[in-house]
Amino acid sequence: MAHTIVILGASGDLTSRKLIPALFSLFRKNRLPPQTRIVGFSRSELTDEAWRAALAASTRAHGDHGWDEAAFAAFASSVHYQRGDIQDADAFASLGRRLDALEGADPATRVYYLATLPALYPTAVRQLGSAGLANRDRGDRRTVVEKPFGSDLASARALNAELHQVFPERDIYRIDHYLGKETVQNLLVLRFANSIFEPIWNRNYVDHVQITVAEEVDVGRRGAFYDGSGVLRDMFQNHLLQLLMVTAMEAPVRFDADLVRDEKVKVLRSIRGMRGADFATDTIRAQYDGFARTSGVADGSRTATFAAVKLRIDNWRWKDVPFYLRSGKAMSCRTTQIVIQFREPPHMMFRVPASGHWESNRLVIQVQPAEGLQLHFQSKTPDANMNLRNATLDFRFRSGAESEMPDAYQRLLVDLLAGDASLFARSDEVERAWEIIDPILAAWQSPAAPPLESYPVGAWGPASSEQWMADQGRHWFDVCPVLH
Ligand code: BG6
């Protein structure tokens, strides 16, 4: 069956920086189904040739392999452009005629990729419906929705309702590019294809879990967008909660879209809601110095660029094991890591080391930049009686692999074309995630809010974040990438 990917918002950054480079890499690796064509749709006045030339330049700059002119020309022969405005019903009628002409008599699976401004998603979906472009009589019809998926629970529900008017849930693919990252998928393999981790992956052995997504970059040119969104909407509602779900979920019976997502949603349903004083004791918010002077950011902005949140999962596996989530811009370095901090041994017969404390076992799952695992354990210091030292065992995910680590979009696009939604968010998952984030957002606007702290660019957040952990007898694993 042929496939047609229709990109609505074809002249935007996402298309040129992510989608086309990923599709080209897949083409070169022979991973695209045969007869896959791409049709761009946007307001810019462009011919097929002009769009192909623009994509050649951007793919050369952003693609992940050495540049190959001839390969791009072969790929580009299946790339087409159709001018049109999302507000204009006639433009969708023309798009339909163009797609029919390109596909000819053969039925094709069509994927409508919403890569446009989020405010236009509802209109775009309505227009697809009214123009009959979602009719399935000549092949499957799917739609892909980029984040942000709403800006709170009400808007996410409204968007789901709009989408469901036109597409059944099984044909809606909500992107969270963190689920396309190799280490996140590998976490499922680590947990559920091995027998040695699962028995200790619970409250009996784990003291707490830390999930850190630290970014070294500041908000850059996205000041206006970011000021209206902040770190909870931009990173927590989606990426951090996805990492939490994959870390905490039970084993699904099969790697099947609904079974995987059922287990993930159960985790979100088990998260204890915060109330009253919880917001001040269990959340920290901060802004990096200089944020309010960024172009596009309102003077005196109170938007948080860093947050730390303590969540409790009330189920048999995780009762009383806190999950500490934190993320921020302008931090020390770029690292995404999940730290499983194990309990101390119940009794220690060895002498306390010179450092004054034992480092109990820790598994560091480094999601990026380099992907891999590091296990921290105690070992004897060679030739030094029974003195102990902290030791590590490293696993680099790319070791033994011949190919480069693919960009997250490659994996997600392959799954999308194959009709496998396991690594995409389902409507209930997105809504439940907002149900967790919305009360924190509301509390931060109320007298229950913790103070808005500040932190210097290049720090691990505000000093209060360290103190907060220390008050709980714990400390953050503030270490830049442990693997390179
Ligand atoms: C995006 C956020 O979803 O994820 C950005 O909007 C953030 O603010 C980005 O920088 C981080 O993604 P990655 O893959 O670089 O960790």
Q: What is the DSSP string of 411-428?
A: HHHHHHHHT--TTSB-HH
Out of 65, 239, 376, 484, the active site residue is: 239
Residue nearest atom 10 in ligand 1 by C-alpha distance: 215
Report the separation in Å between the CA atom of 215 and the middle of ligand 1, taken as the mean of its atom positions.
8
Report the separation in Å between the CA atom of 471 and the middle of ligand 1, taken as the mean of its atom positions.
31
pTM exceeds 0.85 for this model: yes
Contact 307, 212 (CB under 8 A): no
Spatial separation of the C-alpha atoms in residues 208 and 310, rounded to whole Å: 10
Contact 410, 418 (CB under 8 A): no
- Dig out the tokens for 236 from the structure: 């927590």
* Residue 95: per-residue pLDDT: 98
How many CA within 13 A on the CB side of residue 194? 12
> Measured from the CA of 234, which atom of ligand 1 is nearest?
6
Residue 182's φ and ψ, nearest 5 degrees, are: -60, -40
Test site for ligand 1: of 146, 175, 177, most ligand atoms within 8 A of the Cβ: 177
Spatial separation of the C-alpha atoms in residues 297 and 293, rounded to whole Å: 7
**Beta-ladder partners of 173:** 144
The 3-state DSSP class for residue 468 equals helix
Report the separation in Å between the CA atom of 18 and the middle of ligand 1, taken as the mean of its atom positions.
12
> Measured from the CA of 222, which atom of ligand 1 is nearest?
8
Report the separation in Å between the CA atom of 213 and the middle of ligand 1, taken as the mean of its atom positions.
9
Distances (CA, A) of 308 to 329, 465, 473: 12, 7, 16
Test site for ligand 1: of 234, 305, 405, most ligand atoms within 8 A of the Cβ: 234
- CATH superfamily of the 2-146 domain: NAD(P)-binding Rossmann-like Domain (3.40.50.720)
Quick one: how far is CA 165 from the chain centroid?
A: 26
Helix axes 408-418, 20-28, angle to 10 degrees: 70
**Going by DSSP bridges, is the β-strand pair 2-8/36-42 parallel, antiparallel, or unpaired?**
parallel
Instruction: For the chain, 484 residues long, give each residue's pLDDT as a single digit of tens.
Output: 899 999 999 999 999 999 999 999 999 999 999 999 999 999 999 999 999 999 999 999 988 777 999 999 999 999 999 999 999 999 999 999 999 999 999 899 999 999 999 999 999 999 999 999 999 998 999 999 999 999 999 999 999 999 999 999 999 999 999 999 988 999 999 999 999 999 999 999 999 999 999 999 999 999 999 999 999 999 999 999 999 999 999 999 999 999 999 999 999 999 999 999 999 999 999 999 999 999 999 999 999 999 999 999 999 999 999 999 999 999 999 999 999 999 999 888 887 777 667 789 999 999 999 889 999 999 988 888 888 888 999 999 888 776 677 889 999 999 999 999 999 999 999 999 999 999 999 999 999 899 999 999 999 999 999 999 999 999 999 999 988 8
Asked if 376 is an active-site residue, the reply is no
Spatial separation of the C-alpha atoms in residues 36 and 367, rounded to whole Å: 31
Among candidates 239, 298, 295, 219, which has minimal Cα distance to 430?
A: 239
Contact 84, 95 (CB under 8 A): yes
Report the separation in Å between the CA atom of 272 and the middle of ligand 1, taken as the mean of its atom positions.
27
Among candidates 111, 105, 32, 45, which has minimal Cα distance to 81?
A: 45
Report the separation in Å between the CA atom of 410 and the middle of ligand 1, taken as the mean of its atom positions.
16
Spatial separation of the C-alpha atoms in residues 336 and 327, rounded to whole Å: 9
* Residue 402: per-residue pLDDT: 66
Cβ contacts of 95 within 8 Å, gap of 6 or more = 6, 39, 41, 82, 84, 131, 133
CATH architecture of residue range(s) 179-398+431-471: 2-Layer Sandwich (3.30)
Spatial separation of the C-alpha atoms in residues 307 and 285, rounded to whole Å: 5
How many CA within 13 A on the CB side of residue 149? 31
Q: Where in the chain is the domain with CATH 3.40.50.720?
A: 2-146
Give ligand 1 pocket residues (Cβ under 6 A). Answer: 147, 177, 215, 234
Model confidence pLDDT, tens digit, residues 207-240: 999 999 999 999 999 999 999 999 999 999 999 9
* Residue 277: per-residue pLDDT: 95
Spatial separation of the C-alpha atoms in residues 113 and 96, rounded to whole Å: 15
Residue nearest atom 2 in ligand 1 by C-alpha distance: 234
- Residue with the two structure tokens 């580009």: 76
Alpha helices of 343-418 — where are they, by DSSP H?
Answer: 408-418
- My answer on whether omega of the bond before 369 falls inside 30° of 0, hence cis, is yes
> Measured from the CA of 334, which atom of ligand 1 is nearest?
16
Test site for ligand 1: of 239, 336, 368, 405, most ligand atoms within 8 A of the Cβ: 239
Spatial separation of the C-alpha atoms in residues 475 and 332, rounded to whole Å: 17
Residue nearest atom 6 in ligand 1 by C-alpha distance: 234
Instruction: Output the DSSP codes for 275-318.
Output: -TTHHHHHEEEEEETTGGGSTTSPTT----SEEEEEEEB-STTT
Report the separation in Å between the CA atom of 311 and the middle of ligand 1, taken as the mean of its atom positions.
22
* Residue 64: per-residue pLDDT: 77
> Measured from the CA of 177, which atom of ligand 1 is nearest?
14
Spatial separation of the C-alpha atoms in residues 416 and 422, rounded to whole Å: 10
Residue nearest atom 15 in ligand 1 by C-alpha distance: 215
> Measured from the CA of 368, which atom of ligand 1 is nearest?
16
Among candidates 374, 369, 370, 373, which has minimal Cα distance to 359?
A: 374
